[in-house]
Structures are given as structure tokens and as C-alpha cells.
Amino acid sequence: MADRRPPAAAPLLRAALCLLCCAPAAVRAVPELGLWTQAVDDKSGPLIFRKTMFNSTEIRFSVKSFSCLRPVKFTIEWTLKYHTCHNEYPELEEMSQKHELEEDFCAYLKNINCWTTKNENLDCNSDLQVFPSLNNKELTGIRNASNQEGSMDIVARTQRDGFHIFIVSIKTEKADASWNLNVSLSMMGPHGYISASDWPLMIFYMVMCIVYILYGILWLTWSACYWKDILRIQFWIAAVIFLGMLEKAVFYSEYQNINSTGLSTQGLLIFAELISAVKRTLARLLVIIVSLGYGIVK
């Protein structure tokens, strides 16, 4: 049935299918988050966060809630390390869990492109309403220049584009003190919470969504022009175009969501991957049908 197409439609069909199948396959990974909340207690090791960040990304760290049974003084130290290779220092997380990480992180991280700041004598007791906010003296000048309210809790600022590790170590002078903190960390770049490696992907999904809309319009116009010759396969191609459009739109909304809230919606990502899989199956099936003929495939 499919190989009895009128000659005018055949090249169009091949061209359209090629366009659908040759769209570059993006490297898929779970997008990096921009906002974390974590519970810390006297037994946890240093907190380690990794992200690919743009230059001038603002890192905010604050203690949201706390419980200290007895009055205690905290020392909070944070370290920002820039590294050039993606898989550098993979052992940090494990060492932190085993409490093997040394005090001086920058010395361990070879002291290059490493910035560390320390806030000492932060009081914590049960009468306190809010935990004292952290500050970074080097950033105070910049902070005054910009908006006062919006720049609260900024503890560090990146100085170049690339991979970064952010380590927070929370300690008390008394080793036996028992305490509990809920901390919040955010990394907000010039484009929002999105990481530097996901930003081009977000643009890619937006552009591809527009491209699919154009395909759809083109396909509808062609179908209208050749409406007398339309076979069932043309409807399936329209379905592939529609699925492609939907897939890119869902991916785009997931990335946009991460960019504005810093948090990922797992369901949206799974839904997008499912649509993507269905679309690719359908598109490849259509290619086989066109090249072998419907009789054989059936």
C-alpha cells in the first residue's frame, strides 16, 4: 500500500523523515539543581555540593531552623573550588562520610582557584529566634552597591565559568555538644538557577520546539495541497511531528521550571522521556516502512 504512492509525494516524504530522524540527539542527564535543603547534625561530615556554574553566580547559604540543647558556639567554614575537568576529586563525598577529609580543604584541593571563608563564634541557644546570618567580608563592598535586601546571605560568588565544588563545614568548639540544623543553599546565576551546562540545552529545546511547530505547519500545508493523494502514512508522520513538538515543549518546561525554582520535577522528566521514546519508535518504524514497503513490515 505504501509503495503505491504517487511520485510527487515520495521525495517529500523521504525528506521529511530524514529531517525527523536526523535531529541531533541531546546528551541526556538529570539537570543540575539550584536549591538544596539539608539536615545537618553533630555527626555529619562536611557538606559537598557540585555544580557547573556561570561567572558571577551568587551562592547563598543560611540556617533555616536549628535546635541546640545547650548554648554552643559554631564555626562555619565554606570553600569554593573551581576545577577544569568534570571528574576531578570524585573521592570527596566518600571521604566526607567517613570523616577522613582534612581541615584545610584548599590545601587538599591544591590551593589553585580555591577560596575559603570562615565565620567564627556564631551563638546558638534555645532562646534565639533566628540563627545569626553568615557574611563574607570580601563581598560586602559589592553587596552595598547592589540591592541590600536581595543580596542577603551571599557567602560566595564564582569568578569564572565552569565546574565548581562548594564545601561547607560546620563545627562547634565542644566536640560532645548535640545539635541539629536545617540548612538551605542556593546557587543563582545570571540566567537563574539553571547550571551552565543545562543552559544551552534549554535554548536547544526552545529552538527545537519552534522548529517542530514550523514542520507541523509545513506538513499541514503540504497535506492540504496533495489532499487527494493522502495515504495513512502521512497521518502517522503528522503524529510524529506532534509528538516531537510535545516532547520538546515538556523538556523546555522542565528546564524552565528548574531555572525559576531551582528544584526538579521528576514526573515531568519521565513523561518527556516517554514521549521521546514513543516518538523515536514511531519515526524509525516509518523509515522501515518507507524503505522496505508496508507489505514486508506488516
Ligand X SMILES: *[C@@H]1O[C@H](CO)[C@@H](O)[C@H](O)[C@H]1NC(C)=O
**Binding site residues, ligand X, CB under 6 A:** 39, 55-56, 65-67, 140-141, 144, 159-160, 180, 182
Nearer to ligand X, 17 or 124 (CB): 124
Of residues 124 and 250, the one with the C-beta less far from ligand X: 124
Of 26, 161, 7, the C-alpha closest to 82 is: 161
Nearer Cβ to ligand X, position 41 or 100? 41
CB 42 within 8 A of CB 179: yes
Beta partners for residue 32, in sequence order: none
Nearest Cα to Cα of residue 33 among 269, 203, 228, 244: 269
User: Nearest distance from residue 195's CB to ligand X, in Å?
Assistant: 17
Specify the residue, 152 or 274, whose C-beta has the smaller distance to ligand X.
152
Between helices 232-261 and 9-22, what is the axis angle to 10°?
A: 30
Cβ atoms 57, 201 nearer than 8 A: no
Please tell me the distance from the alpha carbon of residue 54 to that of residue 153, in angstroms, as a whole number. 19
Q: How far is the CB of 53 from ligand X (least distance, A)?
A: 11
CB of 267 to ligand X, least distance (A): 22
Closer Cβ to ligand X, 192 or 216, answer by number: 192
Q: Minimum Å distance from CB 41 to ligand X?
A: 9
CB-based contact 18:129 (threshold 8 Å): no
| Least distance to ligand X, CB of residue 161, Å | 7
Which residue, judged by CB position, is nearest to ligand X in the bound state? 65
What distance in Å separates the CA atoms of residue 90 and residue 226, rounded to the nearest whole number? Answer: 59
Q: Show the cell assigned to 102.
A: 582534612
| Contact indicator for 163, 86 with CB cutoff of 8 Å | yes
Q: How far is the CB of 158 from ligand X (least distance, A)?
A: 8
Nearer to ligand X by C-beta: 143 or 171? 143
